[in-house]
């Protein structure tokens, strides 16, 4: 499948699962996706999408899985993404995202089991609030530009696969 994700996607307000991975989609994620308040699963992996992660994604409180790896998204992670309290899996890997991982609100990710953001340009230190993600099984942050020492809370995440 080729083309863009139309702004009319926001009209499908009963949509719970959107799987468009491994296509040749281009363009940006339309901000109208924020109207899909029942959306739980969004898979946009392995396309040719670009632009910034829209702020409107952080308004989707029902989200369980957000997977946008292997695209060309750039810029910072929107701060409001930390308010996704039902989030179980977050994969931002293989993009061009940069800056620090937002520190505020990660403690809300109490159901998070997978956080993968490898092969980006993230900087700074790992947020101490990741220690509150006690169900975390996979933490994959390789190939970034983090600085500082490995935080002591990493030892608490004994079930985690790095």
How high is the pLDDT of residue 158?
Answer: 52
pLDDT given at position 162: 53
DSSP string, 129-142: GGGG-TT--EEE--
Residue 46: pLDDT band with limits 50, 70, 90: very high
Q: Where residue 100 sits, what CATH number does that domain have?
A: 3.80.10.10
The pLDDT tens digits for 28-37 are 999 999 999 9
Average pLDDT over residues 19-29: 98
pLDDT exceeding 90 applies to what percent of the chain? 73
Domain of residue 114: give its range. Answer: 2-156
pLDDT surpassing 90 at residue 18 = yes
CA distances from 142 to 60, 76, 122, 139 (A): 28, 17, 10, 9
Is residue 118, in this structure, part of any structural domain at all?
Answer: yes
Q: Is 104 helix (H, G, I), strand (E, B) or coil?
A: coil
The domain tally of the chain equals 1
Q: What is the pTM of this model?
A: 0.92
């Amino acid at each position: 499948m080729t083309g863009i994700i139309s702004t009319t996607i926001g009209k499908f307000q009963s949509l719970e699962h959107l799987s468009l991975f491994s296509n040749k989609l281009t363009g940006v994620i339309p901000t109208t996706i924020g109207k899909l308040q029942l959306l739980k699963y969004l898979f946009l992996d392995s396309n040719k999408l670009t632009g910034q992660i829209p702020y409107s994604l952080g308004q989707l409180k029902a989200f369980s899985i957000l997977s946008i790896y292997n695209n060309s998204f750039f810029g910072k992670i929107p701060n409001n993404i930390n308010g996704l309290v039902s989030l179980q899996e977050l994969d931002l890997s293989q993009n061009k995202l940069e800056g620090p991982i937002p520190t505020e609100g990660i403690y809300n990710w109490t159901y998070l089991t997978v956080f993968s953001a490898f092969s980006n340009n993230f900087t700074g230190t790992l947020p101490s609030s990741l220690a509150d993600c006690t169900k975390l099984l996979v933490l994959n942050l390789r190939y970034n530009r983090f600085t500082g020492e490995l935080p002591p809370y990493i030892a608490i995440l004994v079930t985690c696969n790095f």
